[in-house]
Structure 1
Amino acid sequence: MSLPIKFGVSTWLFTSPFQTSSIEELFPKIAEMGFDAVEIAVEDPALIDGEAVKSALQKYNLKAIVCGAFGPIRDLTNDDPAIHQICFKYIEECLDLCVMWDTGFFAGPMYSAVGKARMLPPAKRKAEWDLAVTNLRRVCDMAQRRGLEIALEPLNRFESDLVNTASDVIRLVNDIDHPSAKVILDGFHMGIEEPNVEDAIKLVGDKLIHLQVAENYRGAPGTGQTNWDAYRRGLEAINYKGTVSIESFTPNNQELAEAVCIWYPLALSQENFAIEGLNFLKQWAQ
């Protein structure tokens, strides 16, 4: 039986930052490749004309998925409340784009800044966890008022010291205790942190509203060591009906490539990466 899923691809595979001028370059290409959705990485909302994106989504028959970027000034566990306010404002802008683009959720590791990986005393770790819970409950209220959910993403140990595993993110969701708190899983991070991908997916269960995939080395799906049978068993077990998106990064933007430690091209071209990955995923889902 085929998996009842759609397929998407992240704008990060091709460009950074995504901006209005990216639309006519990317959207027709993504649609022609055969993707159902474009996962829009919103690094700076000021660079994006929301109405122009909305028109292009309709023109090319693509669904939008919205993911956030969380650096040092967007850190809900920072000691400085002023940093929290900057992050809340950014999240609010992203949520408004979700409404405009008819996207049901906003996704990302919004509990903390990416790259905070430290050995903390237990008391400090608990204080940051509690602060994340408190601030994310407020984010959930913001989302709920717009009829939206948030999808919280665990990151590998080199990118976060707070939420690394499916077990971590479910504990976070349970502590937030809000109907808008849900989960996104990313196969690259799971490949580092999870002993068993199938069990991780089953643990998250119906809280899983989005899945990002790439190979163990962040290359095109189907070209590496990933246990795709385990993914399939997990998704079948939870009756997942959402989107599976290819997320990797272009090596052609130096700042982005350095941030994600991609020092060499992972495919002949980013277009080949996307096409090869999508062809594999469509066969895998049959």
Structure 2
Amino acid sequence: MKSCVTIALVPQVQTGPWIYWNDLEASMAKAAELGFDAVELFTASADALTTDRLTALIDQFGLNIAAVGTGAGKVVRGLTLTDPDPVIRTRAIAFITDMIGFGASVGAPAIIGSMQGNAAPGLEKEQALTWLAEGLTILGKQADEQGVPLIYEPLNRYETNLINDLTTGASFLSGLRTENVVLLADLFHMNIEETSMADSIRSTGARIGHIHFADSNRRPVGLGHTDVDAVAGALKEIGYSGYVSAEAFPFPTPDQAARQTIQSFQHYFN
């Protein structure tokens, strides 16, 4: 398994669960110094950062890009894959398509979390899920053409009324007309929704392609009450070898949160 820390470059999400903020070069330097293998980026758009600059920073600090988030499409532009307006759904697909291309240029997959949206009031949930399946199928195939998977993240019930747990997510993905969409297992969301986090990981292991590493209170692992021993054991049992990425609040400071994260990663996975 490989360690990863998040970097957000979007001013509109200043209260969100990312460890480092704003200064990409300084954040990557700190991540490299602490021994992280990679960083996960949250940018405002696909053209907010040039591939040339990012590649230079990758080479300078010896870090990989584990994934790129697409949530700014919803937060900044109000786009989701399940909006009742077909024009907005089309724009959402276009935004994510561009993010897939941006990530693929440095070998990183894109994550679809908040851009999945919700079943709007008065709309049947099945209709929203149909639109979500259509969007993920299109985008999964596009990602496949560029040599990267597409990552889909079940969110807790307070963030979406569509898919909230890994088992439901795995079943949903199995019905898509593409095999290129994988699950993101976010420990914070799982703490709310799963009966047993470890059992859910074991039962959906073949589908899991990315981990968000945060404790029960969304602080860095070790500062909440999640049974991380059980989670780590399950990840080892399924042979997970991807990134374990800290999408957590920068508590009490970004530097302390990053240090807490890498220490926890080394404790549980090294």
TM-score (ref. length: structure 1): 0.84
Query: Could you give the per-residue CA deviations for residues 158-204 of structure 1, whole angstroms, max 9, x where no partner exists?
Result: 00000100122112201214121111110000010001001111122
- Confirm or deny: 8 A CA contact 1:118 1:161 kept in the other structure: no
Q: Does 1:99 align with 2:101?
A: no
Q: Find the counterpart in structure 1 of residue 243 from structure 2.
A: 243
Q: Does 1:38 align with 2:39?
A: yes
- Confirm or deny: 8 A CA contact 1:108 1:184 kept in the other structure: no
Q: How does 1:137-148 map to 2 (within 5 A)?
A: 137-148=137-148
What is the rounded CA distance, in whole Å, between the counterparts of 2:143 and 2:44 in structure 1? 19
What amino acid is the match of 1:225?
Answer: H
What is the rounded CA distance, in whole Å, between the counterparts of 1:184 and 1:223 in structure 2? 22
Query: Could you give the per-residue CA deviations for residues 27-53 of structure 1, whole angstroms, max 9, x where no partner exists?
Result: 111111110000111332232122101
Q: Find the counterpart in structure 2 of residue 212 from structure 1.
A: 212
Q: Does 1:73 align with 2:57?
A: no
Q: Find the counterpart in structure 2 of residue 10 from structure 1.
A: 6
Name the SS for the 2:116 alignment partner: coil
List alignment gaps of at least 5 residues for structure 1: 251-265
What amino acid is the match of 1:189?
Answer: H
Q: Cα offset for 1:54? A: 1.2
What is the rounded CA distance, in whole Å, between the counterparts of 1:231 and 1:199 in structure 2? 9
Query: Could you give the per-residue CA deviations for residues 67-86 of structure 1, whole angstroms, max 9, x where no partner exists?
Result: 22151632111111111121
Query: Could you give the per-residue CA deviations for residues 132-169 of structure 1, whole angstroms, max 9, x where no partner exists?
Result: 11121111121111122111101010000001001221
Q: Which of 250, 274, 278 is 2:258 aligned to?
A: 274
- Confirm or deny: 8 A CA contact 2:84 2:120 kept in the other structure: no
What amino acid is the match of 2:150?
Answer: I
Pair 92,118 (structure 1): closer, same or farther in 2 beyond 3 Å:
closer
List alignment gaps of at least 5 residues for structure 2: 8-17
- Which region of structure 1 is more displaced relative to structure 2, 22-31 or 188-197? 22-31
What is the rounded CA distance, in whole Å, between the counterparts of 1:218 and 1:117 in structure 2? 25
- Confirm or deny: 8 A CA contact 1:184 1:212 kept in the other structure: yes
Pair 117,129 (structure 1): closer, same or farther in 2 beyond 3 Å:
closer
Q: Cα offset for 1:110? A: 6.0
- Confirm or deny: 8 A CA contact 1:215 1:224 kept in the other structure: yes
What is the rounded CA distance, in whole Å, between the counterparts of 1:204 and 1:195 in structure 2? 14
CA-atom RMSD in angstroms: 1.8
Q: Cα offset for 1:120? A: 6.2
Name the SS for the 1:38 alignment partner: strand
Name the SS for the 1:39 alignment partner: strand
Name the SS for the 1:151 alignment partner: strand
What amino acid is the match of 1:285?
Answer: F
Q: Cα offset for 1:111? A: 5.9
What is the rounded CA distance, in whole Å, between the counterparts of 1:88 and 1:76 in structure 2? 7
TM-score (ref. length: structure 2): 0.89
